[in-house]
Structure 1
Amino acid sequence: MVLSYFPKVVSHYWSTKPLIRFRMNETAFNNVTQMFRAPVVDISRPLVTLKEPIKHVFVIILESIRADTLPLNRNLAKAVKSTFTSDATATKVTPLLNSLWTNSVRTVASVTSSYTLKSLVSIFCGIYPLNVNFLKEANAENFLYEKCLPELLRETFRTTNNQSAFRSAFFTAARDDFDHQRDLFNKLKFDTTINGFNIYEQVGNVPDLGMFGPADPYILPLMWKWIDNNLADKETNHMMMSLLVTGTHEPFPIPTDWPADDYRIYIDDPSVNSYLNTLHATDDFLKEIIDGFKLRKLYNETLFVITSDHGYVFHDYEREMLGLLSTPLECAFSVPLMLYNPHLEAKQLHGQFTNMDVLPTIMDILLSSIRPTHQSTNQLLSVPCDQVQSILSRYEGTSILRMPVEKQPVRYTFHLANP
């Protein structure tokens, strides 16, 4: 019955699988459909300016980052009934990320699920995950009812020889043996996936850090190798990369090679303090990545999309909840979302955004970058409107770079808690 809340899921499954018949008042069905629909936007009215075309995309997904920690603000201390020290400022905890945030198109987004793998479905496929516990999306009998970003890029952008202009890869230091993760990534259709098992094979028997695999920096040699090989391949015009950063996942361990002097007391709650220290270590790690993109002269041509899979709960507001299991609290579902490129105008956006908006927004920018425009200083004005409209009509998200049409109903997001 819950499928009735997701009309695109229903229409797909009705056409492919026999379902138990049920009746629902048509008016009620339409009302529910309208509640969950992404806002309609005016494609001809961009909210920001993009001065130069974008060639590459890098989606960075940070584990368990709440909206009130990036950038860090007093709402976190208030929620956990604790007190910040003088070191607990955004410029000290996350100097790189804070700088990127200030110079980005930035907002707070709502995730569809506090379960990482389901959240990835929404980020890369622009759709709701199935409303069932654990990763049933990976089962052979279930379908991702729209093309996910890697496949969509391959089909949309072609070379003069009718070859795909994009190469795609997903990187993470975590192993891929948890809850059918490997099966899911086969369905997401990245050209290449590189994970913790590849680190063991190519780097050696490195120690694990935390619950899922080696520390994040161990993935970098493998990531640079893939990027450098593609840069050397003259047939590779564009790259779409994604990195799942797991260092900020509970139990928030500090990298063993991290200088002891770098550990700080940011807050008098021990769990939150460990969390903020792992975020600080992650900021150092991301700076190394940004420096690597600058060294390879990719920095100015790459759209960096930085967000989180979900938030985290630290006994917020004196609730008896720690972690994400079955929690309904907003801090589990509100995350930062930023789009950064030196040629993309920075702007704070206010609206009802979700992680399903990532795919349509990326496609909007890339379609706007097909041809350098000389008639206008804004690439977003050169977008093929019919192609963008086709994407917006198929996916559950919208482009956050376009002006919403006025007088629309409130947008509701259906959340699936970590089981």
Structure 2
Amino acid sequence: MAAMPPLPERMPRSKDAPTALENLLVVDFTRVVAGPACTQSLADFGAEVIKIENPEGGDDTRAYEHAEIGGESAAYLSLNRNKLGITLDLTVPDARDVARELIQGADVVVENFSAGVMEKFGLDYNSVAPSNPRLVYCSISAYGRKGPFALRPGFDPITQAESGFMSLNGFPDGPPVRTGPPIVDMATGMSACNAILFALLARERIGHGQHVEVALFDIAMAMTGFYGMAYLINGSNPGRYGNSPNGSPSVGVYEASDGPFYIACANDRLYRRLVTEVLNRPDLTTDRRFATRRERSANKEQLRAIIAEAFSRDRLENWMAKMKAANIPVGYLRTVEQGFNAPEARERHRLSRIPHALAGFVPNIETPLGMSLTPAVDPIAAPLLGEHTKDVLCRHLGYDDNRIAALAATGALGKDWSRG
């Protein structure tokens, strides 16, 4: 396994560039994946996000086992950049009072607790909106906050399975397969971010905030996309096609003599270009078995075997050069290691290292969103548990040292709180 080369320090943004969400205050009660992914996007573009964690262990992802650096997991670091971290034990009345004070001055609240938790603490939308009518309050859940399924717990792979999304992934002769990364969680986080921004725009017109909801099951169902729509039109249950949508023989993974690649010749124009300019087989455009997309689909196994045999005769780089010259959509089939060391990642400045209080530096995957006038903020590593508690209480609520000490004595900040 090749060692990852040292990551560069990130080039800072222009000092005079504004941020898209400057002066937006977000109180973040989320944990795990979908909620933190949402609030990280807001933080990346200038919102001040206050992440509230249970002092006993904090966000569950802190203990995830993929990898760790500086005492923090890869999962936690990847989802909580640019946030301020405080600890509040919401089972303590004084801690709930602090939370309500923060919400009273906030623009946005995001939560993804189980149903009923925020109501139990008196922190649900109906409880806090009267004192802050401009508040945009976002709830993220598996099956929504209302109806017969509101109390059901659910996670990304469960909603992949139940929505039909998982049934589309894998090969025809194998079982359904969940995606490796938690794609429904990530898409739910992005959708929640969109919903919050929509509500903030609406607030400027109608003068008050609103409660917005995003559910993993709904997102998973929406992500069936045109496969789901096709079922609604023709009543035919879509199957699994592996790496070739609808079994197209000119879309999918092929092997050169020394390595794999992926091509996507999904229409007649690209198919003709592939077989004539790259494979030097113009007969495959006139052979009546392969002349049209419908016929190619009907005879896909025969055509796939012909194409596979042709590709096996030469080296990967020779085929890549020919296909790029013919403007064929093609890509290397890379591992994560290869992808992260690829020129596309390097030249597009996708990876960097950023300072961390304990590790010195931690890796950083840049936000994929680019804005010319209001670029993302310079990234700050995810906070240590409770790292900014004193700063937030002083700056946002005007607490002095005596008041913070008295609050800590009640257990509101955690049993052994002594952080500054």
Query: What is the TM-score normalised by the length of structure 2?
Result: 0.29
Pair member with larger Rg? 2
Q: Which has the higher contact order (CA 8 A, sep 6+)?
A: 1
